[in-house]
Amino acid sequence: MTADDYRRMALGLDGAIEAEHMGHPDFRVGGKLFASLQQGLRTASVMLSPEDQADFIAAAPDAFMPESGAWGRAGWTRIQLAVADDETVGEALTLAWRRRIALTEEQKHRKTPARASRVKPATKKAAKKR
């Protein structure tokens, strides 16, 4: 698999666009990152769940590994493109794209709408005037 193959697959997902993050290409849906190309375009990264990450690493440990630190513990997974096969990478990209969409929707629903008006609690002074 090459960086061009990876890019083509990522951009083939509905609504995916290419942008740049910290000097390397990344792929976003709804403005949010779900995948990237790194290290001179020899490796890539996808945002998986920790469970999906473990499955990919178990199935192809030479191609998949967790990213370093907290990113890796959160599910971000590095792909060695030269040893990865198209079908498995396509599956990982699709899962990352779906996860990003689901997380974005979840975040939208968690936001509480602004209150139209706020009633101030009665103070002792206001209560005495009544």
Torsion of CA 12, 90, 87, 75, to 10 degrees: 180
Average pLDDT, the chain: 88
Q: Is the pLDDT of residue 124 over 60?
A: no
Packing angle, helices 86-110 and 50-59, rounded to 10: 170
Q: Record the pTM.
A: 0.81
DSSP 33-75: EEEEEEGGGTEEEEE--HHHHHHHHHH-TTTEEEPSHHHHHTT
Q: How far apart are CA 117 and CA 94, in angstroms?
A: 43
Q: How far apart are CA 115 and CA 118, in angstroms?
A: 7
Q: Is the pLDDT of residue 119 over 50?
A: no
pLDDT tens digits, one per residue of 53-99: 999 999 999 999 999 999 999 999 999 999 999 999 999 999 999 99
* CATH among 2.120.10.80, 3.90.1150.30, 3.40.225.10, 3.30.70.100 for 3-107: 3.90.1150.30
